[in-house]
Amino acid sequence: MSIYWGNHTIQASLDGYQTKTGQVTIAVGEKKLLEILLTPDDCFVESLFGRDSREAELLRDFRDNILINFPFGLKLIDFYCQLNPYLLKLISK
């Protein structure tokens, strides 16, 4: 998607994932690559500890502020997202 200079609100969504919304400002002549991390609607960690638990918040903060900044961190996030449905099935039994 191409957008031009100015202030923009970007929203990303995908079935089975939480919708994310963010703001971006683009200067005249500037190019930006936007990466948006979508997380599954149902989360193994939230199922174990609770959505608003200290543990879930700590892990979300680690993901959003540390892991996302490194190639290995992005691979780890992707691996968790792929493993998540199987972990949810495992604890639902």
Using one digit for the tens of pLDDT, what is the confidence trace for 40-49? Answer: 667 888 888 8
| Residue 22 or 58, more confident | 58
Q: Assign residue 7 a region: left if phi > 0, alpha if psi is -120 to 50, beta otherwise?
A: beta
Q: Are residues 50 and 33 in the same domain?
A: no
Q: Map 48-73 to HEC letters.
A: HHCCCCHHHHHHHHHHHHCHHHCHHH
Q: Is the pLDDT of residue 55 over 90?
A: yes
pLDDT recorded at residue 66: 93
| Mean pLDDT value of segment 51-71 | 90
* 7: enclosing H helix or E strand: strand 6-12
Give me the number of domains the chain comprises. Answer: 2
In this structure, the answer to whether residues 45 and 34 fall within a common structural domain is: no
Residue located via tokens 């495992």: 90
pTM of the model: 0.57
Check whether residue 49 and residue 79 sit in a common domain.
yes
pLDDT digit string, tens, across residues 27-42 = 888 887 777 766 666 7
